[in-house]
Amino acid sequence: MIGILGGGQLARMLALAAVPLGLRVRTLDPNADSPAGHCAELVVAPYDDPAGLARLAAGCTAVTYEFENVPAAAVERLAGLGVAVRPAAGALAISQDRIPEKDCFNACGLPTAPYRAVDSRADLDAAVAAIGLPGVLKTRRFGYDGKGQKVLRRSEDLDAAWAELGRSPLIYEGFVPFDSECSLIAVRGGDGATAFYPLVENHHRDGILRLSICPGRGTAGLQAEAEAAAGRLLARLDYVGVLAVEFFRVGGRLLGNEMAPRVHNSGHWSIEGAECSQFENHIRAVAGLPLGSTRVRGAAAMVNLIGDFPDLRAVLAEPGVHLHHYGKEPRPGRKIGHLTVVADDHAALLGRLRRLAAVTGLELPGLDG
């Protein structure tokens, strides 16, 4: 039995990957109708509820999590129950705060944009004086899908940004004029073995990921550098499981932006697009099993379904397209499913994506690049 904190779509896809390995999954989520509950045991309780955590942990080989804002108290409680939490608490703590996260990147030889902690209005002036404009002011913790951040272009922007964000601990970063955004899905097993998927190219709109393409265009020459940096991160954090590292590709280099200590939306294409998906590899890692091959079958893409479903019959009629429905009610801005698109090579993949956009009316940014 594997335990998962959180019962959303990531836990659902982890459960679906665990079953063929002969492993059962139990999730804990405050929501009685959470997506993972359709295919795994579900404990309905708050994340820090001692009785709920004890029920989650009972009989588990290991407990993992599907989101990085897991309360530290929950992880401590699980450790106190004698169950292994993977990835370990240290990696979780670092990824919850953008300052130690970027410190860790730099310590591992992964450069970042210049950054400074901002805890007062005077700190903001000092950070802007040191780093310059434009830049991005972000909350250090609990940011997701581009929330909790403001781009500062002129000195007149500082007051409004401070008024909006100044109640939280902040970070100011130099603005990166990136050529593209990409991510590396890495995995480390309990025995220290590592494996890496090819760099993925990511396209966002309104702060939400819309389209991922693997292998990412323009990334082949950067793969070795990305793997070396991620390998150092995994070793430093004594990491077990899947780690997603997000980068800016700029002027032929990679700058680290952030990491997620879990399976990641930009790796969802791997369910049909790779020999062993990120979900299966995460389960293998936390269960102490050998890792599977990260080889991509040709080229693959992930299209997020956000807010509402397109005509699913039309989607399913398209060759090379696979539907992953999360069992959630449609709601504006909500991720309710994704499509994996697979093809023999990039040219065929882009053709399938353009056709899919035409058939469904889905807007797919990045297809003209």
Task: Give the interface with ligand AMP as residue ranges (CB under 6 A).
Answer: 113, 136, 143, 146, 173, 175-176, 181, 204, 207, 246, 257-258
Residue 145 phi/psi, 5-degree rounding, is: 45, 40
Residues 262, 285 contacting (CB under 8 angstroms)? no
For ligand AMP, the closer CB: 207 or 351: 207
For ligand AMP, the closer CB: 143 or 169: 143
Shortest Å, Cβ 148 to ligand AMP:
8
| Closest to 249 measured CA to CA, from 369, 120, 346, 362 | 369
Residue in the shown chain whose Cβ atom is closest to ligand AMP:
176
For ligand AMP, the closer CB: 112 or 277: 112
Shortest Å, Cβ 352 to ligand AMP:
25
DSSP designation for 213:
E
Shortest Å, Cβ 70 to ligand AMP:
18
Six-digit token string for 164: 């909006």
Shortest Å, Cβ 177 to ligand AMP:
7
Length of the chain: 369
For ligand AMP, the closer CB: 43 or 303: 303
Shortest Å, Cβ 262 to ligand AMP:
15
Beta bridge partners of residue 151, listed in sequence order: 136
| Helix, strand, coil content of the chain in percent (nearest 5) | 35, 30, 40
For ligand AMP, the closer CB: 262 or 352: 262
Shortest Å, Cβ 181 to ligand AMP:
5
Shortest Å, Cβ 318 to ligand AMP:
28
| Closest to 303 measured CA to CA, from 324, 319, 329, 318 | 324
**Residues in CB range of 154: below 8 A, 6 or more apart:** 133
Shortest Å, Cβ 15 to ligand AMP:
27
CB-side neighbour CA atoms (13 Å) of 276: 19
Six-digit token string for 221: 């020459």
For ligand AMP, the closer CB: 26 or 264: 264
Residues 336, 310 contacting (CB under 8 angstroms)? no
For ligand AMP, the closer CB: 102 or 188: 102
Using the structure block, give the residue that is written with the tokens 């109708």.
Answer: 33
Neighbours of 310 (CB within 10 A): 17
For ligand AMP, the closer CB: 86 or 150: 150
Quick check: helix, strand or coil at residue 55? helix
Shortest Å, Cβ 37 to ligand AMP:
29
| Closest to 309 measured CA to CA, from 290, 292, 291, 326 | 326
DSSP designation for 354:
H
The amino acid at residue 142 is F
Distance CA 286, CA 33 (A): 26
Six-digit token string for 60: 């588990």
For ligand AMP, the closer CB: 77 or 140: 140
For ligand AMP, the closer CB: 90 or 207: 207
The amino acid at residue 85 is V
CA distances from 184 to 162, 242, 285, 287, 324 (A): 33, 10, 17, 22, 22
Shortest Å, Cβ 292 to ligand AMP:
28
